[in-house]
Amino acid sequence: MQLSRYVRIEPIDIQRVDTVVAADVGYKGSRGVGVAVAYSVHVKRELCHVAIAADVDIPYVPGLLAFREAPLMITAIKELLDRCTEADVLMINGHGVSHPRRFGIASHVGVVLDKPSIGIAKKILYGSVVKIDKENRSLLVVNGSVVGFVLENAYGGKIYVSVGHRVSPEDALKIVEKVWSRDKTLPDPLFIADKLTKKLRNKL
């Protein structure tokens, strides 16, 4: 079944977005850990987190990251939703539709869980960058369509924000800007998830 045909790019009601759930995965040998962190947009803090460790038998293949990492992310997110809170938006460490198949890991996780999702990556995978203003912001374009934005932090580092599922590029940008002070390498929810993933990975 081609899950990519289920991807929807559509507006989201920004005023109703409070809880962002960020997800990341880390590895040590054949073991992996998936982390999900719930973060409140309005109070600017972590609400709770869940970590799941498991054996990972699927090797890394460029462009097919979702097959290796999505199962751990999905399991961790489901566990967090069961234990702690609902998610208004998912923020995934990886690309969304800025992908050769228009279906990166952020789209995969969003479609499987039927949640709005945003992809955040530190490197471009697919598409082109078009500068639009002087505010350290550029368009991320695939086949003539805007699928996201490229933003710079306070130190000149870049993040690539792309639509995953059930969100528009403009709304994805607004959500990221609400939870990123730009003094960190990643938006706050994903920065927390990334730090926790690295800490737990070393204990596998």
- In this prediction, residue 63 has a pLDDT band, given cuts at 50, 70 and 90, of low
| Right CATH for 8-201 from 3.90.600.10, 3.30.2170.10, 3.20.20.140, 3.40.630.30 | 3.30.2170.10
Question: Any known ligand binding at 171?
Answer: no
Query: pTM for this structure?
Result: 0.94
State the Rg of the chain over Cα.
Answer: 16
- Round the average pLDDT of the chain to a whole number and report it: 93
Asked if pLDDT for residue 65 goes beyond 80, the answer is: no
Residue 70 has pLDDT above 80, yes or no: yes
pLDDT higher than threshold 70 for residue 68? yes
Residue 138: C-alpha distances to residues 10, 67, 70, 161, 176 (Å): 20, 29, 28, 10, 14
Q: Where are the domains of the chain?
A: 8-201
Q: Which residue has the higher pLDDT, 68 or 133?
A: 68
Cα–Cα nearest to 124, from 158, 163, 90, 166: 158
Residue 24 is assigned to a ligand binding site: yes
* Cβ(136)–Cβ(180) below 8 Å: no
